[in-house]
Amino acid sequence: MINKLLIANRGEIAVRIIRTCKEMGIKTVAVYSTVDKGSLHTAKADESVCIGPPASKDSYLSRNNLIAAALKTKCGAIHPGVGFLSENADFVRSVRQEGLVFIGPSPEIIEMLGDKVKARTAAVKFGLPVTPGTQDVVADNALELVKGIGFPVIIKAAAGGGGKGMRIVRREADLEENIRIARSEAFANFGEERVFIERFVEKPRHVELQILADGKGKVAVLGERDCSVQKNHQKLIEESPSPGVTDAMRGQMKIGAVNMFRELGYCGAGTIEFLVEDGVFYFMEVNARVQVEHPVSECVSGVDIIRQQILACTENTLEIDGSDGGDCHVRLSGWAIECRINALSPGRVTKLAVPGGIGVRFDTFLSEGCLVPPYYDSMVGKLIVHAANRAQALAKMERALSELVIEGIRTNRMQQEYIIKEKTFRSGGFDTSYYGSIAKEVEHV
């Protein structure tokens, strides 16, 4: 077991990782930009190191600064958290070249799964259905390729994610211009302009499986999460299990996912994402890291995902029943819901009151007097509840949101409260188009 670990991230995920490391007896090193000097993760870690000015490219995205900080503080491993360099294969190679353990899969697997075209090919190999689509697209034969798929289609960056380099096209006349725009966006965001095209699934649910694997063939599936409530492709609310997944579908998803992660020799935490429509599911992508929404899977499974991720990557083991090379048996219980709390303005938090009670959890980096800077992701916390069933979880979330007080900055707390009370959401009959259908109402709350 490693003795000390550097967390190459900030905010609530850094605090989350520190807590598990303390329980495991692992010392932690926090890194911070100059604007994050007083942030909660720096106070909770055993040591902290400044890695640069506020701009991400000069601090949290600086591979050299991060590795230098790990070596200087004599760490044995680096945990990338979420975002930033968590799925950067070159960073992983650099970490390993210095003799450090990377808490995540190999650079080769990250590279393959990060290329959506290669990931689609792998999914088909392991028996997972994909939407009809193309390989890499070139503008001069795109129309011919698309005619075999049928409109509407969606153009996606091969090396991208987060909705960037993504364009929906409904008419033949709009295809060429949207390919040009998507290529430009892909290059600007990912340094690579390759795009591919899929049939656009109009109103799917966004469902994902939480996976843990030890790199030796043991694979655990911690149930599925429904992430269909999204604004501009950014998730707002996640829950487990999904109201729209049947036991039969769940079983089919699991078989394909386990086969894929086992055959790849995957090590650590990962998420396989699907689109679900009319009882049919399609592979979308794999996130080769822990996800922001992992707490809902922790609640229904009772498994500390960060702990198992660290054990898998440092000891090639999982503390989950199941023989090497075989399926793990994880008992799932109850219903969990997570609301992402986003800052709508930067500023200093003047008052913070955190909800409590049985089955209520708030993962955050906020504290009274702390600064929420304008340079990074807007999410400042995650409110998670767990109850026996969905109706009780909704009631618990409604109560918890009403108790949450964050003053000094504007947040989306009231908008989340509106959604939790809204009849279509409460019915469970929603899909990825849901937020757009209530946007006018919710944004005037």
Pairing of strands 267-277, 347-348: unpaired
**9 phi/psi in degrees, rounded to 5:** -160, -170
Find where tokens 């929420």 sit: 372
Which residues touch 145 (CB under 8 Å, ≥6 apart)? 134, 137, 197
Give the integer Cα–Cα distance in Å for 375 and 35: 9
Q: Does residue 152 contact residue 203 with C-beta atoms inside 8 Å?
A: no
Longest dimension (CA), the chain: 61
Tally of CB atoms within 10 A around 147: 10
Q: Which is nearest to 32 in space by CA: 80, 64, 66, 79?
A: 66
DSSP codes, 396-411: HHHHHHHH-EEESS-B
Tally of CB atoms within 10 A around 331: 8
362-394 residues labelled b (16+ CB within 10 A) or e (exposed): bbbbbeeebbbbeebbbbbbbbbbbbeebeebb
Give the integer Cα–Cα distance in Å for 444 and 187: 35
**Is 426 noted as a catalytic residue in this protein?**
no
- Say whether the peptide bond before residue 243 is cis (omega within 30 degrees of 0): no
Counting Cβ atoms within 10 Å, is residue 252 exposed (0-12), middle (13-18) or buried (19+)? middle
* Annotated catalytic residue, options 205, 289, 340, 361: 289
Complete edge-to-edge strand list for the sheet that includes strand 4-7: 47-52, 27-33, 4-7, 77-79, 101-102
Beta bridge partners of 197: 155
Positions marked catalytic: 289
